[in-house]
């Protein structure tokens, strides 16, 4: 696996990446960071949740820091990021602030729906990076508050959503005010013809990078999340496994030690085994063979160890802990519902895992139904989730198993050409 150390990032940035808790680069980061560092234009096809923000923020921070302006007076804008929404603009600005501040870089964000007075003030103070929604940026440009003549790099993020919002003409007008000699990065979850044509007209010799849309294999899998206090997770797991519908279950933990502990706990009641990187090849093979045969009903695994598991009729995937990166969630639940069978994926979520859950839902563009009835419900979590939790672009699904079954049935009919 590629490491951040292999990507030609400087020591200070590597330290900031470690502080952010990123263990290794995501696929889009591994592909895009070296290209952006080399100054190439990049056309990236990647969804939210794949780590695409850091894929452009990290190399741009490094390039900005390498040629920091030492002139006195207000600093010129050198990087411009255009975003379709205020929420995304804020997230991007936060990423630039957290990785760029140690290098003395200033970031400011401008977007509609709020007073422009503080935004004008911030622009006058000067910033290296401006993150903007196109409408508000054009207003501020007309008011003479923005000078883009020193911009060296432009990012168009979630370009397909800018298309949906009718921003493309505005984007073209803004770019006509930025020097032609610049680096242009364009990211989009989908690549319709209009985006390709925009890319062709604003980029030069762009390198294309793509990460497979990971949010698809979940269609046949019925997913539920169960809010529970951390200390009740083991008891809840035993309760779930007591259901005779659980024919063969794969339980995921985040760490190797966690896998051992959970397997040991379960072994008190039945045969369960753990597989992870600290066990010998022979031990792993034995555990896997016994799981395939059906002599072990429950296998506890870490993400890495699970990659080699190719077992068709896993009825349940249980996320004892949510994974740190969202793509792993999709890979995990894809272990069930294989080969036209439907499957069930249950996630135990404690208070500390709420942000992860939110990111996963954002990646999949759908909310995961909450199972509200189980013996260890953590009431605060459920109520809070219901109130605050409507991921962007998500279709709210009911927790009703009936409806989920209908969807599974429908997916199967579609697959067999009968829908």
Least distance (Å) from ligand AMP to the CB of residue 104? 22
Residues 6+ apart with CB under 8 A from 216: none
The encoded tokens of residue 286 equal 């034995």
Site string for ligand AMP, 349-368 (x = CB under 6 A): ----------x---------
328 binds ligand AMP (CB under 6 A): no
51 binds ligand AMP (CB under 6 A): yes
> What are the two backbone dihedrals, phi and then psi, of residue 111, each rounded to the nearest 5 degrees?
-155, 165
C-alpha dihedral (407, 413, 417, 419), degrees to nearest 10: -60
Q: Which is nearer to ligand AMP, 284 or 366 (CB)?
A: 366
Half-sphere exposure of 44 (CA within 13 A, CB side): 31
Task: Scan residues 161-200 and list those touching ligand AMP (CB under 6 A).
Answer: none
- Residue 166 in contact with residue 1, Cβ under 8 Å? no
The binder of ligand AMP chosen from 44, 49, 334, 337 (CB under 6 A):
49
54 binds ligand AMP (CB under 6 A): yes
Residue 346 pairs with which residues in a beta bridge?
Answer: 224, 318
- Residue 44 in contact with residue 28, Cβ under 8 Å? yes
Q: Where are the alpha helices (DSSP H) in 150-279?
A: 159-164, 168-175, 193-202, 233-241, 256-267
Q: Which is nearer to ligand AMP, 29 or 296 (CB)?
A: 29
Of the listed pieces 21-29, 297-305, 377-385, 389-397, which binds ligand AMP according to CB under 6 A? Answer: 21-29
Q: Which is nearer to ligand AMP, 132 or 314 (CB)?
A: 132
Q: Which is nearer to ligand AMP, 53 or 296 (CB)?
A: 53
Residue 320 buriedness (CB in 10 A; 0-12 / 13-18 / 19+)? buried
The binder of ligand AMP chosen from 22, 40, 234, 267 (CB under 6 A):
22
The binder of ligand AMP chosen from 145, 324, 350, 384 (CB under 6 A):
324
The encoded tokens of residue 71 equal 């002139």
The binder of ligand AMP chosen from 7, 13, 16, 26 (CB under 6 A):
26
In a 3-state reduction of DSSP, which class is residue 294?
A: coil
Q: Can you spell out the DSSP letters for 272-298?
A: EEEE-TTS-HHHHHHHHHHHHHTS--E
Containing 183, the helix (H) or strand (E) segment is strand 183-188
The binder of ligand AMP chosen from 9, 31, 43, 53 (CB under 6 A):
53
- The rounded distance, in Å, linking the Cα atoms of 270 and 381 is 31
Q: Which is nearer to ligand AMP, 4 or 291 (CB)?
A: 4
Of the listed pieces 19-27, 195-203, 271-279, 291-299, which binds ligand AMP according to CB under 6 A? Answer: 19-27
Q: Which is nearer to ligand AMP, 25 or 381 (CB)?
A: 25
Task: Scan residues 96-125 and list those touching ligand AMP (CB under 6 A).
Answer: none
The binder of ligand AMP chosen from 9, 13, 16, 25 (CB under 6 A):
25
Positions that interact with ligand AMP (CB under 6 A): 22, 25-26, 29, 48-54, 324-325, 359
């Amino acid at each position: 696996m590629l490491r951040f150390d292999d990507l030609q990032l400087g020591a200070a940035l590597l330290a900031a990446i470690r502080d952010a808790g990123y263990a290794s680069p995501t696929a889009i980061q591994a592909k895009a960071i070296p290209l952006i560092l080399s100054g190439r234009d990049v056309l990236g096809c990647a969804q939210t949740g794949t780590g695409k923000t850091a894929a452009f923020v990290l190399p741009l921070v490094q390039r900005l820091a390498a040629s920091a302006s030492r002139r006195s007076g207000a600093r010129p804008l050198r990087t411009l990021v255009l975003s379709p929404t205020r929420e995304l603009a804020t997230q991007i600005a936060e990423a630039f602030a957290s990785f760029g501040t140690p290098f003395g870089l200033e970031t400011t964000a401008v977007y509609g729906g709020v007073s422009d007075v503080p935004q004008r003030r911030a622009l006058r103070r000067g910033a290296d990076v401006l993150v903007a929604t196109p409408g508000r940026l054009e207003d501020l440009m007309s008011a003479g508050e923005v000078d883009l003549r020193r911009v060296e790099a432009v990012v168009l993020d979630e370009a397909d959503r800018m298309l949906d919002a009718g921003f493309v003409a505005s984007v073209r007008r803004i770019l006509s005010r930025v020097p032609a000699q610049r680096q242009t990065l364009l990211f989009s979850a989908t690549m319709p013809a209009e985006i390709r044509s925009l890319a062709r007209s604003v980029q030069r010799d762009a390198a294309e990078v793509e990460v497979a849309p990971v949010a698809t294999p979940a269609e046949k899998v019925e997913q539920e999340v169960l809010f529970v206090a951390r200390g009740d997770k083991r008891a809840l797991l035993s309760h779930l496994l007591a259901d005779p519908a659980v024919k063969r279950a794969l339980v995921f933990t985040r760490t190797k030690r966690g896998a051992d502990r959970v397997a040991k706990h379960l072994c008190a009641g039945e045969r369960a085994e753990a597989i992870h990187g600290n066990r010998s090849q022979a031990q792993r093979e034995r555990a896997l063979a016994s799981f395939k045969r059906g002599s072990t009903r429950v296998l506890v695994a870490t993400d890495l160890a699970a990659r080699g598991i190719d077992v068709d009729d896993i009825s349940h995937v249980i996320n004892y802990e949510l994974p740190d990166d969202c793509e792993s969630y999709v890979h995990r639940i894809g272990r069930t519902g294989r080969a036209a069978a439907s499957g069930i994926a249950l996630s135990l979520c404690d208070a500390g895992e709420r942000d992860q859950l939110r990111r996963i839902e954002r990646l999949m563009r759908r909310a995961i139904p909450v199972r509200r009835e189980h013996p260890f419900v953590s009431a605060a979590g459920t109520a809070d989730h219901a109130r605050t939790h409507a991921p962007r672009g998500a279709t709210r699904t009911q927790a009703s198993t009936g409806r989920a079954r209908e969807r599974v049935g429908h997916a199967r009919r579609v697959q067999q050409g009968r829908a």
